């Protein structure tokens, strides 16, 4: 009871401190205080371990309007304010053809969270609307290309995306189960089409459940999906046909079985033993264990 009393007293004190704050200040405080362990520390660890931010960088934080990219924007904003490395930020929002309600939601949330966005318009949704073969692939490719181009035009050398820990392990599983290869979503990579540009993923160590907890704590509502297709169907119907959803469900079952399986999937890509691998590819060249047998 004594411990419970201390917890209640601490929570009460925290509420008093945040009572007179503006919403964005309350959100910023929670990242350093309440969610320090699950969000801030993991974000900082990824930035440091994968060397994602360097002195003099100008980084375009790409905001889709979803929970992940909005959280990333606030974390990067806080890093710029409190970090030891000097760098600049642009908060880039591409409108691929959202309906007016979704567009306004992004603008409203950006103001609420004190994120000064730079929005530009494209016609991507209309372009891919009549594509029968792989419209999602084409849409994603076009969106990525537009983000690189506009970031470069703004003088940026990097774009930051909101992919997180769960995205990385789901990608690992999808590659194994549906592509017959071992590969994952990298924490950073060089652009092949935009010279001098780099992509970084600072939420690489942050779990989705912790992002959801942060969102719910503040009563925030973000876009569920950037795809126009989901405006015409329910989210459940869209997710039901998604390989990504299959992987999410699989990881969910793994977590019921053991609390360490998800982390072991993640670590397996960091600890590949080439002495026990039949074949691998490097720089687009295939290699076999027989080469050195």
Which residues of the chain form beta strands (DSSP E)? 58-63, 88-95, 117-121, 158-160, 188-190, 198-200, 279-282, 285-288
CATH number of the domain to which 153 belongs: 3.40.50.620
Instruction: State the pairing for strand pair 198-200/188-190.
Output: antiparallel
Phi then psi for 225, rounded to 5 degrees? -155, 145
Share of the chain above pLDDT 90, in %: 73
In the chain, helix, strand, coil percent, each to 5? 55, 10, 30
Locate 169 and state its tokens.
């392990």
| Domain annotation covers residue 286 | no
Has residue 135 got a pLDDT over 80?
no
Tally of domains within the chain? 1
Cα gap 135→142, rounded to integer Å: 10
Cα gap 216→242, rounded to integer Å: 25
| Domain annotation covers residue 2 | no
Q: Provide the domain limits for residue 72.
A: 13-236
| Domain annotation covers residue 288 | no
| Domain annotation covers residue 266 | no
| Domain annotation covers residue 254 | no
| Domain annotation covers residue 127 | yes
Q: How confident is the model at residue 237 (pLDDT cuts 50, 70, 90)?
A: very low
pLDDT in tens, 152-199: 999 999 999 999 999 999 999 999 999 999 999 999 999 999 999 999
pLDDT in tens, 44-98: 999 999 999 999 999 999 999 999 999 999 999 999 999 899 999 999 999 888 8
Cα gap 76→74, rounded to integer Å: 5
| Domain annotation covers residue 270 | no
Q: How confident is the model at residue 19 (pLDDT cuts 50, 70, 90)?
A: low
Residue 274 is given by DSSP the state G
pLDDT in tens, 2-16: 455 544 455 555 555
| Domain annotation covers residue 195 | yes
Beta carbons of 70 and 113 less than 8 angstroms apart: yes
- pLDDT at residue 233 in the model: 42
Q: How confident is the model at residue 234 (pLDDT cuts 50, 70, 90)?
A: very low
């Amino acid at each position: 009871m004594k411990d419970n009393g201390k917890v209640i007293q601490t929570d009460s004190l925290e509420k008093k401190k945040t009572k007179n704050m503006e919403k964005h200040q309350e959100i910023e405080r929670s990242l350093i205080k309440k969610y320090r362990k699950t969000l801030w520390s993991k974000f900082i660890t990824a930035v440091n371990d994968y060397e994602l931010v360097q002195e003099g960088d100008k980084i375009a934080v790409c905001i889709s309007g979803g929970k992940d990219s909005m959280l990333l924007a606030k974390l990067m904003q806080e890093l710029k304010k409190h970090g030891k490395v000097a760098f600049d930020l642009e908060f880039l929002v591409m409108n691929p053809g959202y309906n007016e309600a979704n567009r306004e939601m992004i603008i409203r949330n950006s103001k609420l969270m004190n994120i000064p966005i730079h929005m530009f318009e494209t016609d991507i949704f209309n372009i891919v609307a009549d594509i029968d073969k792989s419209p999602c692939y084409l849409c994603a490719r076009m969106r990525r290309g537009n983000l690189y181009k506009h970031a470069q035009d703004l003088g940026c050398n990097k774009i930051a995306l909101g992919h997180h820990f769960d995205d990385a392990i789901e990608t690992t599983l999808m590659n194994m189960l549906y592509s017959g290869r071992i590969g994952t979503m990298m924490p950073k990579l060089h652009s092949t089409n935009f010279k001098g540009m780099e992509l970084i993923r600072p939420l690489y160590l942050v779990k989705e459940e912790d992002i959801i907890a942060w969102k719910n704590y503040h009563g925030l509502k973000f876009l569920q999906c950037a795809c126009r297709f989901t405006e015409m169907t329910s989210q459940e119907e869209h997710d039901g046909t998604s390989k990504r959803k299959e992987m999410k469900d699989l990881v969910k079952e793994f977590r019921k079985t053991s609390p360490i399986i998800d982390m072991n999937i993640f670590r397996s890509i960091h600890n590949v033993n080439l002495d026990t691998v039949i074949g691998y590819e490097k720089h687009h060249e295939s290699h076999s264990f027989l080469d050195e047998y």
